[in-house]
Structure 1
Amino acid sequence: MFLAAVLNVYVHVAGWYYYWTGTMSGGVQFLPFGLVLKITSEPSIAHEGHIINFVRKHTSIPVPRVIAATAWYDRRFVLMKRVYGDNLQAVWRHLDTEQRANIVEQLRSYVLQLRALKSPHGPAVCGLNGAATIDSRVSSYPIGPFADESAFNDCLIDAARPYLCEETLADVRSRMRNDHRIVFTHADLAPRNILVRGGKILAVVDWEESGWYPEHWEFVRAMYFPMPSPRDEAWMRAIRDFIPGDYEKDWLVDCELSNRMVGAF
Protein backbone atom coordinates (compact mmCIF):
# COMPACT_ATOMS: atom_id res chain seq x y z
CA MET A 1 0.00 0.00 0.00
CA PHE A 2 2.85 2.36 0.85
CA LEU A 3 4.54 1.69 -2.50
CA ALA A 4 1.24 2.30 -4.30
CA ALA A 5 0.88 5.66 -2.55
CA VAL A 6 4.45 6.63 -3.45
CA LEU A 7 3.89 5.70 -7.10
CA ASN A 8 0.63 7.65 -7.14
CA VAL A 9 2.37 10.80 -5.86
CA TYR A 10 5.19 10.25 -8.35
CA VAL A 11 2.73 10.08 -11.24
CA HIS A 12 1.15 13.37 -10.21
CA VAL A 13 4.45 15.18 -9.69
CA ALA A 14 6.53 13.79 -12.54
CA GLY A 15 3.94 12.80 -15.12
CA TRP A 16 4.08 16.11 -16.93
CA TYR A 17 7.82 15.73 -17.42
CA TYR A 18 7.56 12.34 -19.09
CA TYR A 19 4.68 13.54 -21.21
CA TRP A 20 6.49 16.58 -22.59
CA THR A 21 9.82 14.80 -23.06
CA GLY A 22 8.17 12.04 -25.04
CA THR A 23 9.25 9.25 -22.67
CA MET A 24 5.67 8.30 -21.84
CA SER A 25 3.54 6.28 -24.23
CA GLY A 26 -0.08 6.19 -23.12
CA GLY A 27 0.08 4.80 -19.58
CA VAL A 28 3.70 3.66 -19.92
CA GLN A 29 6.61 5.64 -18.48
CA PHE A 30 10.25 4.76 -19.17
CA LEU A 31 12.15 5.49 -15.98
CA PRO A 32 15.85 5.69 -15.11
CA PHE A 33 17.80 2.55 -14.14
CA GLY A 34 16.15 0.44 -16.85
CA LEU A 35 12.68 0.51 -15.30
CA VAL A 36 9.23 0.81 -16.85
CA LEU A 37 6.09 1.91 -15.04
CA LYS A 38 2.72 1.01 -16.55
CA ILE A 39 -0.39 2.71 -15.19
CA THR A 40 -3.96 1.57 -15.88
CA SER A 41 -7.32 2.33 -14.34
CA GLU A 42 -9.61 -0.69 -14.57
CA PRO A 43 -9.99 -2.01 -11.01
CA SER A 44 -12.53 -4.71 -11.92
CA ILE A 45 -10.18 -6.68 -14.19
CA ALA A 46 -7.20 -8.83 -13.27
CA HIS A 47 -4.02 -6.92 -12.44
CA GLU A 48 -1.63 -7.11 -15.40
CA GLY A 49 1.33 -7.58 -13.06
CA HIS A 50 -0.34 -10.69 -11.64
CA ILE A 51 -1.04 -12.00 -15.13
CA ILE A 52 2.60 -11.56 -16.14
CA ASN A 53 3.74 -13.38 -13.00
CA PHE A 54 1.26 -16.18 -13.71
CA VAL A 55 2.63 -16.60 -17.22
CA ARG A 56 6.23 -16.46 -15.98
CA LYS A 57 5.53 -19.13 -13.33
CA HIS A 58 3.74 -21.61 -15.58
CA THR A 59 5.42 -21.21 -18.98
CA SER A 60 8.78 -20.46 -20.56
CA ILE A 61 7.37 -17.47 -22.46
CA PRO A 62 9.73 -14.48 -22.10
CA VAL A 63 7.93 -11.66 -20.30
CA PRO A 64 9.15 -8.54 -18.49
CA ARG A 65 10.27 -9.10 -14.90
CA VAL A 66 7.75 -7.55 -12.53
CA ILE A 67 9.29 -5.71 -9.59
CA ALA A 68 6.01 -4.54 -8.09
CA ALA A 69 2.33 -4.95 -8.90
CA THR A 70 0.19 -2.73 -6.73
CA ALA A 71 -2.85 -0.44 -6.73
CA TRP A 72 -4.06 2.86 -5.29
CA TYR A 73 -7.84 3.27 -5.43
CA ASP A 74 -8.72 2.98 -9.14
CA ARG A 75 -5.12 3.11 -10.35
CA ARG A 76 -3.06 0.00 -11.14
CA PHE A 77 0.73 0.14 -11.20
CA VAL A 78 3.14 -2.39 -12.70
CA LEU A 79 6.82 -1.60 -12.15
CA MET A 80 8.97 -3.74 -14.45
CA LYS A 81 12.48 -4.18 -15.73
CA ARG A 82 12.71 -2.75 -19.21
CA VAL A 83 13.37 -5.20 -22.06
CA TYR A 84 15.63 -3.66 -24.67
CA GLY A 85 14.78 -5.01 -28.10
CA ASP A 86 13.29 -4.16 -31.45
CA ASN A 87 9.56 -3.87 -31.84
CA LEU A 88 8.56 -6.60 -34.29
CA GLN A 89 6.15 -4.24 -36.03
CA ALA A 90 9.09 -2.00 -36.96
CA VAL A 91 11.48 -4.72 -38.13
CA TRP A 92 9.31 -7.53 -39.53
CA ARG A 93 9.69 -6.39 -43.14
CA HIS A 94 13.47 -6.30 -42.77
CA LEU A 95 13.90 -9.82 -41.36
CA ASP A 96 15.12 -12.61 -43.61
CA THR A 97 13.28 -15.88 -44.18
CA GLU A 98 15.13 -17.79 -41.47
CA GLN A 99 14.59 -15.09 -38.86
CA ARG A 100 10.86 -14.97 -39.62
CA ALA A 101 10.60 -18.74 -39.42
CA ASN A 102 12.34 -18.72 -36.02
CA ILE A 103 9.92 -16.12 -34.70
CA VAL A 104 6.91 -18.09 -35.94
CA GLU A 105 8.27 -21.28 -34.31
CA GLN A 106 8.73 -19.50 -30.98
CA LEU A 107 5.26 -17.95 -31.08
CA ARG A 108 3.70 -21.32 -31.86
CA SER A 109 5.41 -22.77 -28.79
CA TYR A 110 4.09 -19.90 -26.67
CA VAL A 111 0.51 -20.34 -27.87
CA LEU A 112 0.66 -24.09 -27.17
CA GLN A 113 2.02 -23.45 -23.68
CA LEU A 114 -0.78 -21.02 -22.90
CA ARG A 115 -3.36 -23.49 -24.17
CA ALA A 116 -1.93 -26.22 -21.97
CA LEU A 117 -2.84 -24.23 -18.84
CA LYS A 118 -5.99 -25.70 -17.31
CA SER A 119 -8.67 -23.21 -16.34
CA PRO A 120 -9.86 -23.45 -12.73
CA HIS A 121 -13.13 -21.82 -13.83
CA GLY A 122 -14.55 -24.59 -15.99
CA PRO A 123 -16.35 -23.25 -19.09
CA ALA A 124 -16.29 -19.60 -17.94
CA VAL A 125 -14.90 -16.90 -20.23
CA CYS A 126 -13.12 -14.54 -17.87
CA GLY A 127 -9.89 -12.92 -16.79
CA LEU A 128 -7.31 -14.36 -14.43
CA ASN A 129 -8.83 -15.48 -11.11
CA GLY A 130 -12.31 -15.32 -12.62
CA ALA A 131 -12.31 -11.54 -12.95
CA ALA A 132 -13.92 -9.46 -15.65
CA THR A 133 -11.77 -8.86 -18.68
CA ILE A 134 -11.24 -6.05 -21.12
CA ASP A 135 -11.10 -6.80 -24.83
CA SER A 136 -10.86 -3.90 -27.24
CA ARG A 137 -12.30 -6.14 -29.95
CA VAL A 138 -15.58 -6.10 -28.05
CA SER A 139 -15.66 -2.98 -25.88
CA SER A 140 -13.48 -0.32 -24.30
CA TYR A 141 -15.06 -1.21 -20.95
CA PRO A 142 -14.67 -4.35 -18.84
CA ILE A 143 -16.88 -7.25 -19.88
CA GLY A 144 -17.90 -10.48 -18.18
CA PRO A 145 -17.11 -12.71 -16.57
CA PHE A 146 -19.31 -14.99 -18.67
CA ALA A 147 -20.66 -18.35 -17.57
CA ASP A 148 -19.69 -19.95 -20.87
CA GLU A 149 -18.94 -19.31 -24.55
CA SER A 150 -22.63 -18.95 -25.38
CA ALA A 151 -22.92 -15.98 -23.03
CA PHE A 152 -19.74 -14.51 -24.49
CA ASN A 153 -21.17 -14.85 -28.01
CA ASP A 154 -24.35 -13.13 -26.86
CA CYS A 155 -22.16 -10.21 -25.74
CA LEU A 156 -20.66 -9.98 -29.24
CA ILE A 157 -24.13 -9.86 -30.74
CA ASP A 158 -25.22 -7.18 -28.27
CA ALA A 159 -22.19 -5.07 -29.20
CA ALA A 160 -23.21 -5.27 -32.87
CA ARG A 161 -26.92 -4.63 -32.29
CA PRO A 162 -26.81 -0.84 -32.94
CA TYR A 163 -25.21 -1.45 -36.33
CA LEU A 164 -26.93 -4.50 -37.84
CA CYS A 165 -30.55 -5.50 -38.26
CA GLU A 166 -32.05 -8.22 -36.07
CA GLU A 167 -32.44 -10.62 -38.99
CA THR A 168 -28.70 -10.42 -39.77
CA LEU A 169 -27.78 -10.73 -36.11
CA ALA A 170 -29.95 -13.82 -35.70
CA ASP A 171 -28.38 -15.42 -38.77
CA VAL A 172 -24.84 -14.71 -37.56
CA ARG A 173 -25.62 -15.92 -34.04
CA SER A 174 -26.97 -19.21 -35.39
CA ARG A 175 -23.57 -19.89 -37.00
CA MET A 176 -21.44 -19.03 -33.97
CA ARG A 177 -20.07 -22.08 -32.17
CA ASN A 178 -20.66 -22.50 -28.46
CA ASP A 179 -18.41 -25.51 -27.95
CA HIS A 180 -14.80 -24.34 -28.32
CA ARG A 181 -12.29 -25.29 -25.64
CA ILE A 182 -11.68 -22.49 -23.15
CA VAL A 183 -7.94 -21.76 -23.08
CA PHE A 184 -5.64 -19.12 -21.71
CA THR A 185 -5.21 -16.47 -24.38
CA HIS A 186 -2.92 -13.46 -24.75
CA ALA A 187 -5.68 -11.84 -26.86
CA ASP A 188 -3.45 -9.29 -28.56
CA LEU A 189 -0.59 -11.14 -30.28
CA ALA A 190 0.19 -8.29 -32.62
CA PRO A 191 3.74 -7.41 -33.72
CA ARG A 192 3.65 -4.21 -31.65
CA ASN A 193 3.54 -6.39 -28.52
CA ILE A 194 6.55 -8.54 -29.41
CA LEU A 195 10.15 -7.46 -28.79
CA VAL A 196 12.87 -9.20 -30.76
CA ARG A 197 16.54 -9.19 -31.61
CA GLY A 198 16.96 -10.68 -35.07
CA GLY A 199 15.09 -13.97 -35.08
CA LYS A 200 14.91 -14.30 -31.28
CA ILE A 201 11.95 -13.11 -29.23
CA LEU A 202 13.07 -11.24 -26.13
CA ALA A 203 9.65 -10.54 -24.62
CA VAL A 204 5.93 -10.69 -25.23
CA VAL A 205 4.32 -7.65 -23.60
CA ASP A 206 0.91 -6.09 -22.98
CA TRP A 207 -0.95 -8.86 -21.13
CA GLU A 208 -3.71 -6.58 -19.92
CA GLU A 209 -6.42 -8.20 -22.08
CA SER A 210 -5.36 -11.78 -21.42
CA GLY A 211 -7.65 -14.36 -19.90
CA TRP A 212 -9.66 -17.52 -20.48
CA TYR A 213 -11.33 -17.35 -23.89
CA PRO A 214 -12.68 -19.74 -26.55
CA GLU A 215 -9.71 -21.21 -28.39
CA HIS A 216 -10.43 -19.38 -31.67
CA TRP A 217 -10.24 -15.94 -30.03
CA GLU A 218 -6.44 -15.72 -30.23
CA PHE A 219 -6.78 -16.08 -34.01
CA VAL A 220 -9.66 -13.60 -34.27
CA ARG A 221 -7.77 -10.98 -32.29
CA ALA A 222 -4.50 -11.52 -34.17
CA MET A 223 -6.28 -11.17 -37.51
CA TYR A 224 -8.31 -8.17 -36.39
CA PHE A 225 -5.45 -5.68 -36.16
CA PRO A 226 -2.24 -7.46 -37.16
CA MET A 227 -0.25 -4.62 -38.78
CA PRO A 228 -0.74 -1.02 -39.81
CA SER A 229 -2.50 -0.68 -43.14
CA PRO A 230 -1.78 -2.06 -45.63
CA ARG A 231 -1.70 -5.48 -44.02
CA ASP A 232 1.46 -7.50 -44.46
CA GLU A 233 0.49 -10.74 -46.19
CA ALA A 234 3.58 -12.55 -44.86
CA TRP A 235 2.47 -11.75 -41.31
CA MET A 236 -1.08 -12.89 -42.08
CA ARG A 237 0.37 -16.23 -43.17
CA ALA A 238 2.53 -16.29 -40.05
CA ILE A 239 -0.57 -15.96 -37.84
CA ARG A 240 -2.02 -19.07 -39.44
CA ASP A 241 1.24 -20.89 -38.72
CA PHE A 242 1.79 -19.95 -35.08
CA ILE A 243 -1.83 -20.36 -33.96
CA PRO A 244 -2.49 -24.08 -34.44
CA GLY A 245 -5.95 -25.10 -35.57
CA ASP A 246 -8.35 -24.18 -38.33
CA TYR A 247 -10.36 -21.14 -37.26
CA GLU A 248 -11.08 -19.63 -40.68
CA LYS A 249 -14.84 -20.24 -40.44
CA ASP A 250 -14.97 -18.76 -36.94
CA TRP A 251 -13.04 -15.72 -38.09
CA LEU A 252 -15.19 -15.18 -41.20
CA VAL A 253 -18.35 -15.38 -39.11
CA ASP A 254 -16.87 -12.84 -36.72
CA CYS A 255 -15.99 -10.60 -39.67
CA GLU A 256 -19.67 -10.44 -40.55
CA LEU A 257 -20.05 -8.49 -37.33
CA SER A 258 -16.85 -6.45 -37.20
CA ASN A 259 -16.57 -5.54 -40.90
CA ARG A 260 -20.07 -4.07 -40.96
CA MET A 261 -19.74 -2.00 -37.83
CA VAL A 262 -18.41 1.51 -37.34
CA GLY A 263 -16.81 2.35 -34.03
CA ALA A 264 -18.45 -0.40 -32.02
CA PHE A 265 -15.28 -2.21 -31.04
Structure 2
Amino acid sequence: MASENICSACSWSPTRQEDCRYNSHVKIFYGVSNRGVWSLGSNLILKERSIEPPNFESLNIRFLAERTSIPIPKIVEEWQEDNGTYFLLTKRIQGHTLSEIWPTMSGADKERVAKQTAEYVMQLRELHSNRMECLGGRPLYSAFLFPNGYGIGHGPFSSDDELWAEMSLALSNVPEEIRLGLRQRMPSAAPYTFTHSDLTNVNIIVDNGNLVGILDWESSGYFPVWWEFTCAGIGLGQEDKEWKELLRKHLPDHTEARNFWLDFFALRKYPNLDERGLSFLNSCGLSMPNEA
Protein backbone atom coordinates (compact mmCIF):
# COMPACT_ATOMS: atom_id res chain seq x y z
CA MET A 1 0.00 0.00 0.00
CA ALA A 2 1.33 3.40 -0.92
CA SER A 3 2.44 5.55 1.99
CA GLU A 4 -0.16 8.03 3.19
CA ASN A 5 0.28 11.73 3.60
CA ILE A 6 0.83 12.54 7.26
CA CYS A 7 -0.71 15.74 8.60
CA SER A 8 2.07 18.13 9.60
CA ALA A 9 -0.13 19.60 12.36
CA CYS A 10 -1.47 16.47 14.12
CA SER A 11 0.92 13.77 12.73
CA TRP A 12 -1.98 11.45 11.91
CA SER A 13 -2.65 9.77 8.57
CA PRO A 14 -6.08 9.99 6.89
CA THR A 15 -6.71 6.32 7.75
CA ARG A 16 -5.94 6.84 11.40
CA GLN A 17 -8.26 9.83 11.49
CA GLU A 18 -11.08 7.84 9.86
CA ASP A 19 -10.62 4.93 12.29
CA CYS A 20 -10.81 7.13 15.39
CA ARG A 21 -14.00 8.64 16.83
CA TYR A 22 -12.03 11.30 18.70
CA ASN A 23 -12.67 14.86 17.47
CA SER A 24 -9.95 17.16 18.73
CA HIS A 25 -10.75 20.61 20.12
CA VAL A 26 -7.13 21.59 19.72
CA LYS A 27 -7.07 23.35 16.36
CA ILE A 28 -4.51 25.28 14.38
CA PHE A 29 -6.15 28.40 12.95
CA TYR A 30 -3.20 30.42 11.71
CA GLY A 31 0.16 29.55 10.25
CA VAL A 32 2.79 31.44 8.27
CA SER A 33 6.51 30.98 7.78
CA ASN A 34 7.93 29.36 10.95
CA ARG A 35 4.99 30.05 13.27
CA GLY A 36 1.56 28.72 14.08
CA VAL A 37 -1.31 29.63 16.39
CA TRP A 38 -3.53 27.01 18.05
CA SER A 39 -6.81 27.24 19.93
CA LEU A 40 -6.88 24.93 22.96
CA GLY A 41 -10.59 24.53 23.49
CA SER A 42 -12.36 27.85 23.92
CA ASN A 43 -10.23 29.41 26.66
CA LEU A 44 -6.56 29.22 25.65
CA ILE A 45 -4.34 30.23 22.72
CA LEU A 46 -0.94 28.64 22.07
CA LYS A 47 1.59 30.35 19.82
CA GLU A 48 4.51 28.33 18.48
CA ARG A 49 7.41 29.93 16.64
CA SER A 50 11.19 30.08 16.50
CA ILE A 51 13.15 32.14 19.01
CA GLU A 52 14.31 34.44 16.21
CA PRO A 53 13.31 38.09 16.64
CA PRO A 54 11.03 39.94 16.50
CA ASN A 55 9.69 37.90 19.37
CA PHE A 56 8.95 40.50 22.04
CA GLU A 57 5.27 39.79 22.67
CA SER A 58 5.47 38.53 26.26
CA LEU A 59 7.87 41.33 27.20
CA ASN A 60 5.53 43.92 25.69
CA ILE A 61 2.40 42.41 27.22
CA ARG A 62 3.89 42.50 30.72
CA PHE A 63 5.11 46.06 30.17
CA LEU A 64 1.69 47.27 29.00
CA ALA A 65 -0.19 45.40 31.73
CA GLU A 66 1.70 47.46 34.32
CA ARG A 67 1.27 50.83 32.60
CA THR A 68 -2.03 50.79 30.71
CA SER A 69 -5.59 49.48 30.85
CA ILE A 70 -5.46 48.25 27.25
CA PRO A 71 -7.28 44.88 26.90
CA ILE A 72 -4.44 42.52 26.00
CA PRO A 73 -3.97 38.75 26.31
CA LYS A 74 -3.08 37.41 29.75
CA ILE A 75 0.01 35.22 29.79
CA VAL A 76 -0.36 31.76 31.33
CA GLU A 77 3.04 30.30 30.48
CA GLU A 78 5.97 30.66 28.09
CA TRP A 79 8.87 28.36 27.46
CA GLN A 80 11.61 27.49 25.00
CA GLU A 81 12.56 24.04 23.74
CA ASP A 82 16.13 22.87 23.16
CA ASN A 83 15.52 22.86 19.40
CA GLY A 84 15.00 26.64 19.38
CA THR A 85 11.20 26.54 19.37
CA TYR A 86 9.34 29.06 21.53
CA PHE A 87 5.84 28.67 22.98
CA LEU A 88 3.53 31.31 24.43
CA LEU A 89 0.30 30.24 26.14
CA THR A 90 -2.29 32.95 26.82
CA LYS A 91 -5.89 33.26 27.89
CA ARG A 92 -8.22 33.66 24.94
CA ILE A 93 -10.05 36.99 24.69
CA GLN A 94 -13.65 36.03 24.00
CA GLY A 95 -15.17 37.61 20.93
CA HIS A 96 -14.60 37.81 17.19
CA THR A 97 -11.88 39.42 15.15
CA LEU A 98 -12.97 42.56 13.38
CA SER A 99 -12.12 40.86 10.08
CA GLU A 100 -14.71 38.15 10.78
CA ILE A 101 -17.65 40.43 11.50
CA TRP A 102 -16.90 43.65 9.60
CA PRO A 103 -19.42 43.01 6.78
CA THR A 104 -22.27 42.49 9.28
CA MET A 105 -21.49 45.41 11.62
CA SER A 106 -23.59 48.54 11.63
CA GLY A 107 -22.00 51.89 10.88
CA ALA A 108 -22.54 52.92 14.51
CA ASP A 109 -20.75 49.80 15.80
CA LYS A 110 -17.81 50.35 13.45
CA GLU A 111 -17.51 53.95 14.59
CA ARG A 112 -17.69 52.94 18.25
CA VAL A 113 -14.95 50.30 17.90
CA ALA A 114 -12.70 52.74 16.05
CA LYS A 115 -13.16 55.35 18.78
CA GLN A 116 -12.55 52.80 21.55
CA THR A 117 -9.40 51.54 19.84
CA ALA A 118 -8.08 55.08 19.44
CA GLU A 119 -8.79 55.83 23.12
CA TYR A 120 -6.66 52.87 24.17
CA VAL A 121 -3.95 53.78 21.67
CA MET A 122 -3.82 57.22 23.29
CA GLN A 123 -2.48 55.50 26.40
CA LEU A 124 0.50 54.44 24.31
CA ARG A 125 1.05 58.09 23.33
CA GLU A 126 2.13 58.72 26.95
CA LEU A 127 4.89 56.08 26.86
CA HIS A 128 8.17 57.60 25.61
CA SER A 129 11.84 56.67 25.35
CA ASN A 130 14.99 58.66 24.61
CA ARG A 131 15.68 56.31 21.68
CA MET A 132 13.75 54.60 18.90
CA GLU A 133 13.99 50.98 20.01
CA CYS A 134 12.14 47.97 21.28
CA LEU A 135 12.08 47.34 25.02
CA GLY A 136 15.43 46.65 26.61
CA GLY A 137 17.40 48.41 23.89
CA ARG A 138 16.46 45.83 21.27
CA PRO A 139 16.32 46.86 17.59
CA LEU A 140 13.14 47.80 15.77
CA TYR A 141 11.53 45.55 13.17
CA SER A 142 9.30 46.90 10.42
CA ALA A 143 9.25 45.86 6.78
CA PHE A 144 7.32 49.04 5.96
CA LEU A 145 9.48 51.62 7.74
CA PHE A 146 12.68 49.82 6.70
CA PRO A 147 11.84 48.07 3.41
CA ASN A 148 15.40 46.96 2.63
CA GLY A 149 14.99 43.50 4.07
CA TYR A 150 12.45 41.40 5.97
CA GLY A 151 13.26 40.21 9.49
CA ILE A 152 16.24 42.56 9.90
CA GLY A 153 16.67 44.56 13.10
CA HIS A 154 17.24 48.32 12.90
CA GLY A 155 18.61 50.67 15.52
CA PRO A 156 18.28 51.80 18.22
CA PHE A 157 18.29 55.39 16.90
CA SER A 158 18.69 58.62 18.82
CA SER A 159 18.01 61.24 16.13
CA ASP A 160 16.21 62.00 12.89
CA ASP A 161 19.52 61.80 11.02
CA GLU A 162 20.20 58.28 12.34
CA LEU A 163 16.68 57.20 11.41
CA TRP A 164 16.95 58.66 7.92
CA ALA A 165 20.37 57.05 7.34
CA GLU A 166 18.78 53.65 7.97
CA MET A 167 15.58 54.31 6.02
CA SER A 168 17.50 55.65 3.03
CA LEU A 169 19.30 52.32 2.59
CA ALA A 170 16.14 51.31 0.73
CA LEU A 171 16.74 54.20 -1.70
CA SER A 172 20.25 53.25 -2.79
CA ASN A 173 19.24 53.43 -6.48
CA VAL A 174 17.66 56.88 -6.11
CA PRO A 175 19.77 59.89 -7.20
CA GLU A 176 21.08 61.98 -4.31
CA GLU A 177 19.16 65.07 -5.42
CA ILE A 178 15.87 63.20 -5.08
CA ARG A 179 16.83 61.70 -1.73
CA LEU A 180 17.74 65.11 -0.37
CA GLY A 181 14.41 66.50 -1.48
CA LEU A 182 12.60 63.75 0.36
CA ARG A 183 14.76 64.07 3.49
CA GLN A 184 13.79 67.73 3.79
CA ARG A 185 10.15 66.66 4.09
CA MET A 186 10.68 64.09 6.84
CA PRO A 187 8.88 65.23 10.02
CA SER A 188 10.70 64.99 13.32
CA ALA A 189 10.39 61.57 14.90
CA ALA A 190 10.30 62.92 18.47
CA PRO A 191 8.88 62.15 20.92
CA TYR A 192 9.74 58.47 20.41
CA THR A 193 6.46 56.83 21.32
CA PHE A 194 5.41 53.29 22.14
CA THR A 195 3.58 52.00 19.08
CA HIS A 196 1.62 48.86 18.27
CA SER A 197 2.41 49.26 14.54
CA ASP A 198 -0.03 46.60 13.26
CA LEU A 199 -3.61 47.60 14.09
CA THR A 200 -4.98 45.48 11.27
CA ASN A 201 -8.52 44.13 11.51
CA VAL A 202 -7.36 40.61 12.46
CA ASN A 203 -5.76 42.02 15.63
CA ILE A 204 -8.91 43.73 16.94
CA ILE A 205 -11.32 41.60 19.02
CA VAL A 206 -14.94 42.72 19.26
CA ASP A 207 -17.84 41.44 21.35
CA ASN A 208 -21.40 42.81 21.21
CA GLY A 209 -20.29 45.83 19.21
CA ASN A 210 -17.46 46.82 21.57
CA LEU A 211 -13.69 46.48 21.54
CA VAL A 212 -12.58 43.80 24.01
CA GLY A 213 -9.02 43.04 22.92
CA ILE A 214 -5.98 44.15 20.93
CA LEU A 215 -3.64 41.33 19.84
CA ASP A 216 -0.19 40.73 18.37
CA TRP A 217 2.33 42.94 20.19
CA GLU A 218 5.43 41.02 19.14
CA SER A 219 6.97 43.84 17.03
CA SER A 220 5.80 46.81 19.09
CA GLY A 221 8.25 49.35 20.45
CA TYR A 222 9.28 53.00 20.54
CA PHE A 223 8.84 54.34 17.01
CA PRO A 224 8.55 57.85 15.56
CA VAL A 225 5.55 59.63 17.04
CA TRP A 226 3.92 59.63 13.60
CA TRP A 227 4.33 55.92 12.85
CA GLU A 228 1.08 54.59 14.39
CA PHE A 229 -1.01 56.97 12.27
CA THR A 230 1.12 56.30 9.20
CA CYS A 231 1.07 52.51 9.34
CA ALA A 232 -2.67 52.68 10.09
CA GLY A 233 -2.84 53.83 6.46
CA ILE A 234 -1.49 50.52 5.14
CA GLY A 235 -4.62 48.57 4.27
CA LEU A 236 -4.28 44.82 3.75
CA GLY A 237 -7.39 44.30 1.65
CA GLN A 238 -10.47 46.43 1.10
CA GLU A 239 -12.15 45.81 4.48
CA ASP A 240 -8.92 46.44 6.39
CA LYS A 241 -8.49 49.64 4.39
CA GLU A 242 -12.01 50.75 5.37
CA TRP A 243 -11.29 49.95 9.02
CA LYS A 244 -8.05 51.89 9.09
CA GLU A 245 -9.56 54.91 7.34
CA LEU A 246 -12.13 55.02 10.13
CA LEU A 247 -9.52 54.48 12.84
CA ARG A 248 -7.30 57.32 11.58
CA LYS A 249 -10.19 59.77 12.04
CA HIS A 250 -9.80 59.29 15.81
CA LEU A 251 -5.99 59.24 16.03
CA PRO A 252 -3.74 62.32 16.30
CA ASP A 253 -3.36 63.57 12.74
CA HIS A 254 0.03 63.00 11.11
CA THR A 255 -1.07 63.34 7.48
CA GLU A 256 2.13 65.17 6.56
CA ALA A 257 4.21 62.27 7.85
CA ARG A 258 1.98 59.74 6.12
CA ASN A 259 2.42 61.53 2.78
CA PHE A 260 6.18 61.64 3.34
CA TRP A 261 6.22 57.90 3.97
CA LEU A 262 4.02 57.14 0.95
CA ASP A 263 6.50 59.01 -1.27
CA PHE A 264 9.42 57.25 0.41
CA PHE A 265 7.82 53.83 -0.10
CA ALA A 266 7.08 54.62 -3.75
CA LEU A 267 10.64 55.77 -4.44
CA ARG A 268 12.13 52.50 -3.22
CA LYS A 269 11.21 51.03 -6.63
CA TYR A 270 13.25 53.63 -8.56
CA PRO A 271 13.57 53.76 -11.53
CA ASN A 272 10.41 51.63 -11.93
CA LEU A 273 8.17 54.22 -10.37
CA ASP A 274 4.40 54.11 -10.05
CA GLU A 275 2.14 57.13 -10.35
CA ARG A 276 2.92 58.21 -6.79
CA GLY A 277 6.68 58.15 -7.38
CA LEU A 278 6.44 60.04 -10.64
CA SER A 279 4.19 62.62 -9.02
CA PHE A 280 6.80 63.23 -6.32
CA LEU A 281 9.48 63.82 -8.95
CA ASN A 282 7.23 66.29 -10.74
CA SER A 283 6.51 68.14 -7.49
CA CYS A 284 10.27 68.61 -7.06
CA GLY A 285 10.66 69.85 -10.63
CA LEU A 286 12.57 66.68 -11.50
CA SER A 287 12.13 64.02 -14.16
CA MET A 288 13.35 60.55 -14.95
CA PRO A 289 16.81 60.56 -16.59
CA ASN A 290 15.47 59.37 -19.95
CA GLU A 291 12.91 62.20 -19.90
CA ALA A 292 15.42 65.00 -19.30
Matched, 1:25 2:31: yes
Matched, 1:160 2:171: yes
Give the conservation status (yes or no) of the 8 Å contact 1:30–1:36: yes
User: Per chain length, whose mean CA-contact separation is higher, i.e. which structure has more relative contact order (CA < 8 Å, sep 6+)?
Assistant: 1
- The AA in structure 1 aligned to 2:169 is D
Give the conservation status (yes or no) of the 8 Å contact 2:229–2:254: yes
Match of 2:211?
201
CA change 1:237–1:114 in 2 (3 A) is same
Matched, 1:238 2:246: yes
Greater Cα offset, 172-181 or 197-206: 172-181
Match of 1:104?
114
Aligned-residue sequence identity (percent) comes to 26
- Over aligned residue pairs, what C-alpha RMSD do you find? 2.8
Give the conservation status (yes or no) of the 8 Å contact 1:125–1:149: no
Q: Equivalences for 1:216-255 in 2 at 5 Å? A: 216-224=226-234, 226-229=235-238, 232-233=241-242, 235-244=243-252, 246-255=253-262
CA change 1:75–1:207 in 2 (3 A) is same
TM-score by length of 2: 0.73
Match of 1:89?
99
Q: Deviations over 1:213-241 (max 9, x none)?
A: 111000111112x24047644x3431322
Larger radius of gyration between Structure 1 and Structure 2:
2
Q: Distance in 1 between matches of 2:134 and 2:215?
A: 17
Give the conservation status (yes or no) of the 8 Å contact 1:161–1:169: no
Unmatched segments (≥5 aa) in structure 2? 1-6, 14-26, 270-292
Give the conservation status (yes or no) of the 8 Å contact 1:51–1:207: yes
Match of 1:6?
none
- The AA in structure 2 aligned to 1:36 is I
Matched, 1:136 2:147: no
Q: CA deviation at 1:147?
A: 2.5
Q: Distance in 1 between matches of 2:97 and 2:230?
A: 22
- The AA in structure 1 aligned to 2:113 is I
Match of 2:127 among 93, 117, 128: 117
Q: Equivalences for 1:24-103 in 2 at 5 Å? A: 24-26=30-32, 27-33=35-41, 34-41=43-50, 43=52, 45=54, 47-72=56-81, 74-103=84-113
Q: CA deviation at 1:151?
A: 1.4
Q: CA deviation at 1:43?
A: 4.2
- The AA in structure 2 aligned to 1:168 is I
Give the conservation status (yes or no) of the 8 Å contact 1:68–1:79: yes
Q: Distance in 2 between matches of 1:215 and 1:19?
A: 49
Unmatched segments (≥5 aa) in structure 1? 1-13
Q: CA deviation at 1:155?
A: 1.4
Q: Distance in 2 between matches of 1:149 and 1:69?
A: 36
Q: CA deviation at 1:248?
A: 0.9
Give the conservation status (yes or no) of the 8 Å contact 1:134–1:209: yes
